[in-house]
Chain A
């Protein structure tokens, strides 16, 4: 099976699940509609509506980690092709990635020492 065919199958699968869920929704709707009653649609917040929209209220206190995460996530993009050819290339590959990871790890240690790894 070619790669294109495989991805087409996966796309078909995704669309199939979408269709299944939509038909489930249709079935539920055919069994009875939601009755509109006052106060029913208030989001869970002790029964009263929030004065302001809640969007944008959360303080992401993990932003120190998030910045380090970016660096590590980029590094993973290099690790996959490296992992595949690792055995073939041998010791050179280990040293190459070792140096790269060592620098990245030093970055982690530096961030840690500067207090990036804590809830801000």
Chain B
């Protein structure tokens, strides 16, 4: 039952996100368009590039989808609405998200195409940039909760949400989450208009449909993670817990879209530079501030 509800939430979230994205870019609200596009992909040819690494080529889209769903599986949407509230939930989320890199390198390597290859290796550079900014803010939330249980992290924010308690961590995590989901302005591995689609370039038909679905689900998963770690999860007045989770998750997802909508794509070298020269010192400062706050304010 829980599994069905979470999967349904992910699918509906992905659909809403696709609708809103199309609305932003075309100015027209067409709720059925993403469904039709998905269906039409089923009827299209799914071409296999010449001399591919077949195993990698086939694994990449499936792996990305599995990763996105497994990430969502450890995030509580309500006190009892979580597929598996692992004792090491926060760590598990990190471990799972590392496989986004594996999937994209596979997608880049698989088709034996130059653009895809560049896109895949670029994402490795991107991971080196954003990765610390994902884990360090999560650690700071775990410090406050004294636990890696995601539900405990939500409960620790009962009095004061982490976005107020550690705003620095929230900002860093939010930016890093966009980079992890490789959405604009950090869409270096796909880079439409520059890399001819990058890792997406050789995927057609049903494989492309799975890849796109996985990307949308990934955004929802990361928005849900932002909600759980920084926005107090299911907590809120009046409405039932699951409604608060949904509202916050969607709000974060849409704000991610909006950020990407108004910013130009960043260069890989600049991304690495900003993350390591500014981001990581700030993330360490965030841990220090949170540590002092925990010790001084009981």
Please determine whether A44 and B50 come into contact, CB atoms closer than 8 angstroms.
Answer: no
For the residues of B in contact with A, the DSSP-based class is helix
A102 to B167, CA, bound (A): 23
CB proximity to A under 8 Å, residues B257-298: 268-269, 272-273, 276-277, 280-281, 284, 287-288, 291-292, 294-295
Is A34 part of the contact surface with B, judged by Cβ < 8 Å?
Answer: yes
With contacts A60-B125, A62-B125, A62-B268 known, is A54 near B117, CB below 8 A?
yes
Chain B interfacial positions (CB closer than 8 Å to A): 3, 41-43, 45-51, 61-62, 65-66, 69-70, 73-74, 83-87, 90-91, 109, 111-118, 121, 124-125, 128-129, 131-132, 135-136, 139-140, 142-143, 146-148, 196-197, 201-202, 205-207, 209-210, 268-269, 272-273, 276-277, 280-281, 284, 287-288, 291-292, 294-295
A-B contact count (CB 8 A): 186
Q: How large is the interface on A (under 10, 10 to 19, 20 to 34, 35 or more residues)?
A: 35 or more
B42's partner among A24, A61, A86, A87 (CB-CB below 8 A) is A24
- Counting from the closest, the 4 A-B pairs by CB-CB distance are A43-B113, A28-B206, A6-B84, A119-B269
Please determine whether A86 and B291 come into contact, CB atoms closer than 8 angstroms.
Answer: yes
A106 to B99, CA, bound (A): 30
- Tell me the smallest distance from the CB of B38 to a CB of chain A, in Å: 10
Question: Which residues from chain B contact A32 at a C-beta distance below 8 Å?
Answer: 43, 45
A61 to B114, CA, bound (A): 17
A-B contact pairs, 21 of them (CB 8 A): A9-B3, A10-B83, A14-B66, A27-B42, A28-B205, A31-B42, A41-B47, A55-B112, A57-B114, A61-B269, A65-B272, A76-B136, A80-B90, A80-B142, A83-B139, A84-B142, A93-B291, A94-B292, A94-B295, A117-B277, A118-B273
